[in-house]
Structure 1
Amino acid sequence: MPEITLYSKTVCQPCKATKRKIAKEGMEPYLREINVDEDPAARQFLIDSGYTESPVVMTSFGDEWTGFRPDLVEAFRDRVKAEAGAAE
């Protein structure tokens, strides 16, 4: 099953905007949100990976990005729908 992982922070407008966009595109069933303010291991993973901006988004398709990127959320949606169509 496809997955979109959102590494967010408690106080982060781009994080909230990304989560809203994921919901608007109907992709909430694929969402895994990790609040790095509450998960020190996840925060350290992002630091070790060189990320310095929030949110960090990673998909099961191998895509990764930072910040609010509605275009990339839409690309994830399109890929999920294309895979679902191919499976029918």
Structure 2
Amino acid sequence: MDEITVYSKPSCVQCTATYRALDKAGITYTIVDVTQDPAALEYISEDLGYRQAPVVVVTDQDHWSGFRPDHINRIATNTNKAAG
């Protein structure tokens, strides 16, 4: 699986919920703070069209905004199938 990136901002409740769900599912990820990285903010807002954090990017075609346990479960299931 590609490296998952979570574009986030400080004090974001949905971001924290996303980290916890990813951790619980055993999914590794990288956090990018969009308040500290203007290029990352431009990428998620201009290129991907999102206005809400977190933005989770799995691949160029697989990404979403907000806390989405359904997507996290899908990724975890696909990861487990690939590992097994």
Q: Does 1:23 align with 2:8?
A: no
Q: Tell me the TM-score normalised to structure 1 length.
A: 0.85
Q: Are the structure 2 counterparts of residues 48 and 61 from structure 1 closer, same or farther at C-alpha, using a change threshold of 3 Å?
A: closer
| 1:61 to partner: Cα distance | 7.6
RMSD: 1.4
Q: Which has the larger radius of gyration?
A: 1
Question: Partner residue of 1:71?
Answer: 70
Aligned partner of 1:84 in structure 2 is 83
Of 35, 38, 41, the residue aligned with 2:36 is 38
State TM-score, norm by structure 2.
0.89
Unaligned residue ranges in structure 2 (runs of 5+): none
Equivalent-residue separation in structure 2 for 1:26 and 1:59 (angstroms): 15
Measure the CA separation in 1 of the matches of 2:60 and 2:35: 26
Distance 1:69 1:7, change over 3 A: same
User: Unpaired segments of 5 or more residues in structure 1?
Assistant: none
DSSP-derived class of the 1:11 partner: coil
